[in-house]
Amino acid sequence: MGERQSGRCLCGATTFTAVPGNDAAVCHCSMCRRFSGGMFIVTDCNGTLEFAKDAPISVFQSSEWGERVFCSKCGSSLAWRSRDGKVQVASVQAFENPDSFPVVSEIFIDCKPGTYDLANATTRLTEAEFFAQFAAQSEGNA
């Protein structure tokens, strides 16, 4: 397990701590693109994401199983989490050093607009491939 690190929104009213992963993933789905206003680049916090008690966060339920957390003062997109709290990913941009999270994978690659591409080598999964992998993992954990 790595070190606990802190992150914050643009205005600074919302802070959090987490033990982030060593790398990052991009989700190209339309919800993540609308939520983040760009590419949502996240690191897996493995259940360690904790917002400050007085943080003015808003939570938006974006699907049956997922919700998104943002600062209600400045609107910074900070995290996606499963509604059961088991999966939590945070925006690498909220941490002090986004450089420490190399982007190694891209999901929902078939939902990406054709107007840009990442230049670095990544593992790419389509929406169907992602859900197939997710289902296989869930069965393994059950």
- Kindly tell me which of 29 and 49 has the beta carbon lying closer to Zn ion: 29
> Least distance in Å: CB of 1 to Zn ion?
26
- Kindly tell me which of 32 and 69 has the beta carbon lying closer to Zn ion: 32
> Least distance in Å: CB of 38 to Zn ion?
12
* Sign of the four-CA dihedral 80, 85, 87, 88: positive
- Kindly tell me which of 27 and 90 has the beta carbon lying closer to Zn ion: 27
Q: Under the rule (CB under 5 A), what is the footprint of Zn ion?
A: 9, 11, 13-14, 27, 29, 32, 71, 73-74
Segment holding 57, helix H or strand E: strand 57-61
Place of tokens 């808003």: 58
Q: Which of 40, 29, 24, 37 is nearest to 99 (CA)?
A: 24
Q: What are the phi and psi torsion angles at 117 (to 5°)?
A: -145, 145
CA distance 41 to 90: 8
- Kindly tell me which of 14 and 77 has the beta carbon lying closer to Zn ion: 14
> Least distance in Å: CB of 33 to Zn ion?
8
